[in-house]
Amino acid sequence: MSESDDTVLLVDDNPTNLEVLYQTLDGQGYRLLAARGGEAALAIIHETNPTLILLDIMMPGMDGFQVCERLKSNPKTADIAVIFLSALGDTDTKVKGFELGAVDYISKPFQAAEIVARVATHVKIRRLERQLSHRNIELEREITRILATMQEGVFGVDINARITYANRAAAQLSGWGQDELVGQAALTTQLRAADGSPRSTQSVPYRQVFGEGRRIELECETIWRKDQSQFRASLNCTPVLERGQVRGAVIVFRDITQRLQAELELQETRMELQKQRQRLAHIERLSTMGEMAAGFAHEVNQPLTAIANYASVSRRLAEKEPIEREKLDSALEKMQTQALRASEVIQRLRSFVRKPKTGREMRDPNAVVEEVIALAEVDSRYNRVPIHFTPGVNGVQVCIDDVQIQQVLLNLVRNAMEAMGATPYRDEGVNITSCSPAPGVVRFSVVDHGEGLADDAEDRLFHPFYTTKDDGMGIGLSVCATIMQDHGGEIGFRRNENGGATFFIDLAAKPCPDTDSVTPGQ
């Protein structure tokens, strides 16, 4: 048992499975506990409140489903993450587990790398959720305390912005006595620019108040204290009018230093959560490549075999006297061709599984689709389902992370091929089209003639862990939806009248922020 803030409980009636799980996760930084049955697990849970439970379904007495149901019905344990373990691979079992509140499902026999990756991901997500929850509670308490105790500072100023009145809060905030403030020029001694340079009634935006008689609100101004320190404040400045003439103004301000710091910390937490989403998307890409590994292995093995044969031929030709230069050159040229063929396959794989680059770039969306088709070509031949692309929109650019959009399109194409794999319409293949359903929008549609979608697809299809595949994790379309949301786009589907389904994604045809010219990404 290791010391850690994150406790992982392993529950299985088979001691061998418990040993395998323990050895797999030992040294990963978790506090590991084990139970050999449902009743024992509940006793441990109520004493330790673990972060995550790896829970076997088929156990004598109280099975995993019953344990999970008991946990989720108790408010004290309802938030504990549960990953089901089972040799049962049918869809009904998986769906039941997710309906009871499980966050994931791992099939037996276990794969060590998969267990480590899934546990790490869900522990990290739970940790971030706890941090967000704690931070939100802290922020609520802090805001409540500030609202209960803070008083706004008030300056009354004349037409020359000299202070004629200051309340006690203004004195406390600025570090000056109330009597000391009266007579000072507020805009030159208190409300200076961030670099300390003086302001006047003619500076923007105060000219709007003193010159035009308009009220202004400023979200973030710099107020200088008596000791020459400064703080950031929100303020509003209201002109004092007499017979339509500006005679002065009332300046009301409040210190927002703590609020800005809280917003910064919250933004940092959100950025960390976004990084974890990107990590989950990367894991899904690796999982996709694992599913396609057999086809790629076959695709690379052919040119490697050819290279070996041509190398053997070249060696024999080189040993002959005289050397038959023409035949030797031909064999070497064929070796080079086969090497380039293998290199292209591997390069496509490396480009797809790499982690996203920082930022986005302008791309021709049709070119991105062509890259996806090249990536899916091996899978297409392996499953004997062709892919057809009919571009209907040309000459436009979209601001995207091309790896992530490739991931979305590849997921849709592979789903379509799987839907058609066991149907008599396999030879018709998957059809990809592009169009512009509205000005400034590019839509790509992936059409299949498969078995169609379930009746409850509208409500659950893009939810995490919903799947109709026997061996699916149910996170592919959920990750796709998150990627499209991050891109400001949309993903959706409709049922085809003649069977099958059409999935589509919409992307905005607009420049990337701070991009002066539209240049296709390379």
Taking 70 as the threshold, does the pLDDT of residue 424 lie above it? yes
The token duo for 380 is 């297409």
Mean predicted confidence (pLDDT) in 226-244: 89
- Amino acid found at 459: D
CATH class of 7-110: alpha beta
pLDDT in tens, 65-114: 999 999 999 988 888 999 998 877 678 888 888 888 888 888 888 888 88
User: Taking a C-beta distance cutoff of 8 angstroms, is the pair 217, 238 a contact?
Assistant: no
* Percent of the residues in the chain that have a pLDDT greater than 90, as a whole number: 12
Nearest to 153 by CA among 262, 237, 35, 52: 237
The token duo for 252 is 């009301």
First-last CA distance in the chain: 50
Mean predicted confidence (pLDDT) in 167-176: 87
Which DSSP symbol is given to 250? E
Q: Which residues contact 502 (CB under 8 A, 6 or more apart)?
A: 445, 446, 447, 448, 493, 494, 495, 496
Provide the residue ranges of all domains of the chain, joining segments of one domain with +.
7-110, 150-255, 359-522
Q: How far apart are CA 197 and CA 209, in angstroms?
A: 20
Q: How far apart are CA 158 and CA 155, in angstroms?
A: 10
- Residue 1: its pLDDT value, please? 39
**Radius of gyration (C-alpha) of the chain in whole angstroms:** 32
φ, ψ at 501 (rounded to 5°): -145, 160
Nearest to 125 by CA among 278, 354, 287: 278
Whole-angstrom CA distances from 403 to 331, 406, 408, 409 are 37, 5, 9, 10
3-state secondary structure of 129: helix
Q: How far apart are CA 257 and CA 58, in angstroms?
A: 56
Mean pLDDT of all residues belonging to the chain: 79
- Residue 296: its pLDDT value, please? 54
pLDDT in tens, 18-41: 998 999 998 888 999 999 988 999
pLDDT in tens, 486-510: 888 888 888 888 888 888 989 988 8
pLDDT in tens, 121-146: 989 888 888 888 888 888 877 744 54
**How confident is residue 9, by pLDDT bands cut at 50, 70 and 90?**
very high
pLDDT in tens, 360-383: 788 888 888 888 887 777 778 777
Q: Which CATH superfamily is domain 150-255 in?
A: PAS domain (3.30.450.20)
Taking 60 as the threshold, does the pLDDT of residue 44 lie above it? yes
Quick one: CA torsion of 359, 361, 366, 370, rounded to 10 degrees? Answer: -60
Q: Sign of the C-alpha dihedral, residues 361, 363, 365, 368?
A: negative
Mean predicted confidence (pLDDT) in 458-480: 56
For 359-522, the fitting CATH number among 3.30.9.10, 3.30.565.10, 1.10.15.40, 3.30.559.10 is 3.30.565.10
Q: Where are the alpha helices (DSSP H) in 292-392?
A: 293-319, 325-353, 365-383
Nearest to 442 by CA among 361, 510, 371, 506: 506
Which DSSP symbol is given to 325? H
Q: What is the DSSP string of 368-412?
A: HHHHHHHHHHHHHHHHT--EEEE----S--EEE-HHHHHHHHHHH
Q: Which of 285-294, 315-324, 416-425 has the highest average model confidence (pLDDT)? A: 416-425
Taking 70 as the threshold, does the pLDDT of residue 216 lie above it? yes
User: Taking a C-beta distance cutoff of 8 angstroms, is the pair 169, 254 a contact?
Assistant: no
Q: How far apart are CA 484 and CA 481, in angstroms?
A: 5
